[in-house]
């Protein structure tokens, strides 16, 4: 892999970029305090803005060439509405595992599909990963739809193999390998 870190990426509607402290207030307003957004995630909704500031400060301090953590900024309103990134990297098999969260006001508009499609392109074409994977709780149907729309293939469901704010949950995996990505282009 040719690690490049969290470089600025764009799509028709989105800017994917590094987090800044100026993102704390919009993040607090748009998604990190919403229990529906965090329902199937491993982190709880933030109780106060200081918690959000602490998390964002941590992200900012951790940025390097092997950290991939983007803010999703909607160009139309010029503010962040979610996050997407590689929450796990395995250099031995050249794999990234993608996780994401999006403010509820923007669900169902193809925004996460647009962001993930751009990341898939970036990781295969620029970072030269061999494998991209993601997983979701089967009860979180929308998340699975995003993966499928982005060309990822269902690989199976592991029973009680993960945990979230719902407790111990099943984990449905989707993946895509470089060979299949380029074959489909």
pLDDT on residue 108: 95
d(CA 159, CA 32): 28
Average pLDDT rounded to a whole number, residues 90-113: 97
pLDDT on residue 68: 98
| Structural domain spans, the chain | 9-133
111-122 helix and 141-149 helix, angle to the nearest 10 degrees: 50
For the segment 15-28, what is each residue's pLDDT rounded down to a tens digit? 999 999 999 999 99
Percent of the chain surpassing pLDDT 70: 100
d(CA 61, CA 67): 11
For the segment 118-157, what is each residue's pLDDT rounded down to a tens digit? 999 999 999 999 999 999 999 999 999 999 999 999 999 9
The whole-model pTM stands at 0.96
Residue whose pair of structure tokens reads 């719902």 in the numeric block: 166
d(CA 33, CA 141): 21
For the segment 26-64, what is each residue's pLDDT rounded down to a tens digit? 999 999 999 999 999 999 999 999 999 999 999 999 999
B/e letters for 94-123, b = 16+ CB within 10 Å, e = fewer, are bbbbbbbbbbeebeeeebbebbbbbbbebb
Structure-block tokens of residue 107? 């669900």
Q: Which pLDDT band holds residue 115 (cuts at 50, 70, 90)?
A: very high
pLDDT on residue 25: 98
Fold for domain 9-133? Answer: Aminopeptidase (3.40.630)
Contact 61, 69 (CB under 8 A): no
pLDDT on residue 184: 83
What does each C-alpha distance from 164 to 43, 46, 113, 114, 175 come to in angstroms?
Answer: 8, 15, 22, 25, 20
Helices (H), the chain: 24-30, 35-38, 49-62, 111-122, 141-149, 178-183
pLDDT at 185 over 80: no
pLDDT on residue 50: 97
């Amino acid at each position: 892999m040719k690690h490049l870190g969290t470089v600025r990426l764009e799509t028709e509607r989105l800017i994917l970029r590094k987090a800044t402290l100026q993102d704390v207030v919009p993040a607090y307003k748009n998604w990190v305090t919403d229990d529906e957004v965090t329902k199937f995630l491993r982190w709880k909704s933030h109780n106060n803005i200081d918690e959000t500031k602490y998390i964002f400060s941590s992200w900012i301090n951790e940025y390097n060439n092997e950290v991939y953590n983007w803010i999703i900024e909607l160009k139309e309103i010029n503010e962040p509405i979610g996050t997407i990134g590689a929450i796990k990297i395995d250099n031995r098999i050249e794999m990234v595992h993608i996780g994401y969260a999006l403010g509820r006001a923007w669900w169902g508009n193809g925004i996460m599909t647009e962001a993930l499609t751009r990341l898939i392109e970036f990781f295969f074409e620029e970072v030269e990963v061999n494998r991209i994977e993601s997983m979701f709780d089967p009860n979180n149907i929308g998340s699975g739809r995003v993966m499928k729309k982005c060309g990822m293939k269902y690989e199976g469901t592991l029973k009680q193999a993960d945990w979230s704010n719902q407790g111990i949950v099943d984990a449905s995996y989707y993946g895509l390998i470089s060979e299949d990505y380029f074959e489909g282009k």
